Amino acid sequence: MSDIEIRDLYTVSCRRLLALTLVLVVTACSAGETAHRTPVSTAPSPSGSAEAFPISSFASISGDPVSQERSEQLQAALREASERLGGAGMSATVLSPAGRWSGAVGMADSRRAVSIGDQFAIGSVTKSLQAAQVMQLVEAGRLRLDDPADRYLPTGLNFDTNDATIRQLMGMRSGLPDYWPALEVLVASDRTRVWTTADVLAQVPAERTPAGTTHEYADTNYLLLQQVIEQVTGGTVLKTMRDGGVLDIVGIERLVYQPHERPAGPMALPNGMSRTEWNEGGGYLPSIASATGYNQFATDSVSLAHWWQALCSGELISQDSLTTMATFVDGYGLGLTDVTTPYAVSFGHPGSDIGFIAWAGCLPDSGSVIAVLSNTGVEDITMMRPVVVAAESDASAPTTP
């Protein structure tokens, strides 16, 4: 890859955060910097199985607060992360064997400082929650990963799925192009528009590549998976998730699914804008246009971290399903990726939308779960690194008596 090509990658839209992550991982490794351990497996082993997902790594997370010294270390790391983003508002939660910690820094809007309870939009981190729900339906025998996706889609959808399977949609190998580059411009120009699924699918370019042959990160895949969930269950994605699904757990009270659920104060507003300006966008994060153009969660860091703890400890889906999700091909699994290579190992996902960036996931080496949220449009895929590095160091330190 030439220097010009690499620079061009940095100019892509915020929703392309994950694609940029994968490119930079490859670039770092080619320069001689390699990860200290490969997560699960980059592909199935010759015997056809992958290394089992390490759910036991997350069995020792403590419910006690971290020590004062540890708290100060993590707060300093969060301040460093904020400084990397030009002083952006941020909130983070770390759950580890050393204890639990949450912190906040910067401004939530034009007048108020960020609090630990502030909700942020999390963009594509939503994909991991949706993927886990699909795997739960697979476990229940209600669909199969290698079936054609159109078998489970509404008959009136009238969309060319490229004969992609459920697995190929989840793994970004469907050959379908992304709708977001076109939609992002429209969402930014009219924050009050309410988008339908048909409206969004109309923004998908016509070209296709053969399914299963290439990796292309595209939000189109997960829009179709939302339709699959609703068709299979006969209810909305939200109802499926809340009623016995992957949201049917305690500790995630601030995790809401937009636009079906509305965020409620306190909230970190996109790019720290004034509440008057934000209200003009319809009362969603970042706006009603974005919330309907890309159904996504809004949450505080505490609720998000607790959801990831439940996922990675095997509470929501089986170890076999987690192993399938974490089997990476071209750097991506089924709604999971490792976004801390080369300095750590993780199972997580980044996300972004207009005025927000987010990262959340599980780190098996330290047995930690981390969620880092920011209300900035500054695109920086390494924004969580100071917090991750701090959490990974001395994670077994004693908790406060």
Instruction: Determine the pLDDT at residue 379.
Output: 78
Give the distance, in angstroms, between the CA of residue 199 and the centroid of all CA atoms in the same chain. Answer: 24
Query: What is the structure's pLDDT at 383?
Result: 87
* pLDDT confidence of residue 135: 98
Assigned domain for 305 exists = yes
Any domain includes 310: yes
| Averaged pLDDT for residues 64-68 | 97
pLDDT tens-digit series, residues 262-278: 999 999 999 999 999 99
Sheet of strand 356-363, all strands in order from the earlier edge strand to the far edge: 99-105, 90-96, 368-374, 356-363, 347-353
Per-residue model confidence as pLDDT tens digits over 249-264: 999 999 999 999 999 9
In a domain, 369, yes or no: yes
pLDDT of amino acid 393: 86
pLDDT band at residue 29, thresholds of 50, 70 and 90? very low
What integer best gives the mean pLDDT of the chain? 88
pTM over 0.85: yes
pLDDT tens per residue, range 331-383:
999 999 998 988 999 999 999 999 999 999 999 999 999 999 999 988 787 88
Q: Which residue has the higher pLDDT, 40 or 214?
A: 214
| Other residues' Cβ atoms within 10 Å of the Cβ of residue 123 | 26
- Residue 47: its pLDDT value, please? 33
What the block records as the tokens of 195 is 């988008």
Stretch 162-178: mean pLDDT:
98
State the number of CA atoms in the 13 A half-sphere of 395 facing the CB: 24
When pLDDT is cut at 50, 70 and 90, the band that residue 49 belongs to is: low
Q: What percent of the chain has pLDDT over 90?
A: 82
Using CA atoms of 337, 339, 342, 344 in order, give the dihedral in degrees to the nearest 10. Answer: -90
**Structural domain boundaries, residue 138:** 3-392
What pLDDT, on a 0 to 100 scale, did the predictor assign at position 12? Answer: 40
Residue 28, pLDDT above cutoff 70: no
Q: How many domains does the chain have?
A: 1
**CATH code of 243's domain:** 3.40.710.10
With a CB cutoff of 8 Å and minimum separation 6, the contacts of 398 are 67, 98
Structural domain includes residue 401: no
Q: Is residue 398 part of a domain?
A: no
Task: Give domain status of residue 399, yes or no.
Answer: no
Residue 16 lies in a domain: yes
From 17-21, 92-96, 135-139, 281-285, the region with the lowest mean pLDDT:
17-21
Considering the domain boundaries, does residue 336 fall inside one?
yes
